[in-house]
Amino acid sequence: MDKQKKTLLILAVLLGVALLGLLGAKKLADKKEKADAIDSAEESIQVYSVDADDVTKVAYYNNGAQVTLTKTDDQWQDADGVILDDDKVRTMLSYLTTIKASDVIEDTDDISQYGFSSATNEVTVTTKDSETTFMIGMQNAITDKYYLMVNYDESKVYVIDSSMLTACSYSTSDLMLDES
């Protein structure tokens, strides 16, 4: 019986040590995750930011077809005047109103190497005060990020995630009011 108690005591101590080790490892992982999030936020480059309520027009291409959305009297409509679902348009706009880059390439010699060759990769966001055109380049096969040029300024090429392409994946029918 004495031998069993010793074995149980040793197993309980080992279990306690293992639990303490797991808790310590979790704390370290949480600290690293927080530090990485802070580093990531500090490293991101603000490319564009506008309040979604200030946007009056958006134009982009979806599967080769141009999509133009216009806000009139606080209602979004497509080029044919069809009233769109405000919540769905706001979701789409969330990808376009704050654009951050992970890197910027300055003083580029040849922008064609970044895939800026087609007008079908353009997104134009209009507010009452300005119009900004974004040209989305090719995807970098290594990083899975995309290249972005703003207002045809060839002196800076930004490296962004796929959120702008997500915005351009909305067709007019995706944005229509649900018929109930």
- Which two structure tokens, joined as six digits, stand for 104? 């910027």
pLDDT of residue 27: 67
The rounded distance, in Å, linking the Cα atoms of 130 and 94 is 18
CA 176 to chain centroid, in Å, comes to 23
Q: Are 175 and 92 in contact (CB under 8 A)?
A: yes
Reading the chain (180 residues) residue by residue, the pLDDT tens digits are 688 878 877 877 777 777 766 766 676 666 556 545 544 444 789 999 999 999 999 999 888 889 999 999 889 999 999 999 999 999 999 999 999 999 999 988 888 889 887 766 899 999 999 999 999 999 999 999 999 999 999 999 999 999 888 888 988 889 998 865
Kindly provide the b/e burial profile for residues 117-153, where b requires at least 16 CB atoms within 10 angstroms of the residue's own CB.
eeeebbbbbbeeeeebebbbbeeeeeeebbbbbbeee
pTM for the full predicted model? 0.73
